[in-house]
Chains A and B, each alone.
Chain A
Amino acid sequence: MPTGSFVSIRNVSLIYGQGEDSILAVQDLSLDIEKGEFVAVVGPSGCGKSSLMKLVTGLVRATSGEIYVGEERVLDPIRGVGMAFQNPTLMPWRTTLANIMLPFEIVDPHKRLIGRDRARYVAQAEQLLATVGLRQFGGKFPWELSGGMQQRANLCRAVIHQPELLMLDEPFGALDAFTREELWGVMQKVWIEKRFTGVLVTHDLREAAFLADRVFVISQRPGRVIHEARIDIPRPRTLQTTFEPRFVDIVHGLRERISQELTV
């Protein structure tokens, strides 16, 4: 039964493997995400955060329970989702511009239109590159870019086809602190412009609090939602925001909740 939320996860469990080697990765997990909302999922490592990503996008089938995206029940990989991982996974044989145009070649209706209207699509891609500060770099190959620039390009590829749902699996995890905080701003800017539904999986609590409308804390394996925090800080949030007492309080609250989980 759809519940009116854009993403609805109902009592989902996931078991990897079979027999004695099987691992209960997620147990009885329920959460709802509204359309246009940006949520973050945090928790200790190995709590099944990444499994959650694969469940929602249909890359992995739930062992029990139901997942709905839009009005549809997710049983197979759903189409047209934007995804970005910690590893940028850009294709080294394509230029940066060609890389971020990849979704246009695969997602309907773009893939039928791109042959006729290539110039318009290229312009759109170049404009997006400019938004994230890569104006001059479309013609470069990914391996000619720094790690932070590659991750910017990766974000571009994830959002260029205007997906309704964007899944981010620790996209800033491998970057240095300065680049990471800078990209939070870039991410927020893109989200404010496009207002897609975003799901960010991360272990960085400040990152979660900076970007999300709501933060879900997941327990140790098997993963369940044990805490939910609403971040009522107006946007656009800046790095300055992260030093304000209410922001710091929120982060402390989240950290405390996770420490309790670890000591149990």
Chain B
Amino acid sequence: MTAHGWITTTMILLPLIAAAAIWILPMPQVWVGPAALLVSLFEIGFWIEALVRYDFDRGGLQEWNHATWVKDLGVSYSVGFYQGFSVWLVGLTTVVMAAAIAYGAWMGRDRPRAYYGLMLFLTGAIVGVFTSQDLLLFYVFWEAMLIPLYVLIGAWGGPGRLGATIKFVIYTMVGSLLMLAAVIVYGLQAGTFSMVTGGTNASDWIFLGFAAAFVVKAPLFPFHGWLPDAYRESPAEVSAVLSGVVSKAAAFGFLRICFSLFPAGVQDFRTPILVLAAIGLIYGSLLAFRAPDIRGVIAYSSLAQLGLVVLGLFASNSLGIDGAVLQMVNHGLISAVLFMLAGAVERRAATGRFESLGGMAKGRPALATVLMATGVIALAVPGSTAFAGEFAILAGVFRQGWFYAAVGAVAIVLAAMYVLRMISAILHSRKGTAVHDAALDLRPAELAILVPLIAILLFLSAWPAAITDRVLS
């Protein structure tokens, strides 16, 4: 095993080992949450170190760590940061996971050892997805994400959780098994599973195998059947992770695997994927506008936003890709904040349905400010980081056809509509039947979790080029 690149392996192993320790070692239950939070903060620390070490001008694969795993088939444990975008996505993961773990600790989930162990395991798996440089390893981490999510939704979720988990697993597994077949065919043809040395492959079928996994996980219209249930029934912070981070794994897969290994497949299927993304963008926005509850709005807006991201990626020019990566980070943070706010509102009103909500701004200035600030960024008001991301995406995709850019522009208007509708249904209008005067404003602990995320969004609003200049070298 090469010695340098230790930081990548550390970032994968630290949460996994911490998870195992939490499961196995006897520990008073009250310590478990803080311990998990501490690990996730260390994870952020390691990421900052990786960010400092990564040379964005040189780009390419850095902090590479490599060891043979299965020799005769050419499978290796190979991890590293490939291009700037993987650095940003790992950063998004560490930040959102830390926030989610902190939120879980604040909410007080029962069976804490199992819960925090799974959250940490999930962290390690997602970091692994964003850093693996071997297709089989990528697949292993990809599946490893599913296992904790299955239990997190199923054991801590809402009343309809069993149906939600079944849908979620069946949808994603069908996609990922097709990917497994494609991985095997690719690897045995190339003689290695390495993404670094494997070279390109012109087969459309292999591309479609990978694409199947990615379009389901993102999800892209019409493969989003699992999405509303999973996002509604999960615990709020798990929804935040699902929509904020896990969906990005799919976009990352397109960017890292499909673009570099299957350029011919990307070329052949660009138009169908762009069309699906555009349909998803409009369709998701319309459904978000009609959704009867907070989580429905965020869930369908997620579908729309991922459509937008995929539009940017398949624009296949640096403008579109830069914008897409920025938008991935934006959406990750925004939807994490929104889902946790949804959780906060549901905790106070015992429902997320708009018909019983309303008038929560009165007497709750912190809630109103945080929700309004996030909402304004989410609807891509000029000057916000989301505006920067969407603008770059639209400018990029315009070169593939004015039609897509027009669709994107319409979607921005729709985004303003559904975000404002959600804000007014929660904060303004008449006081809802489920809103009691005794319901508290956001507590300091909740603010301590949400404000840093919003601060990052504001920072990116001031300087979006921090990311867009450092996506591809």
Do A and B form a real pair?
Answer: no
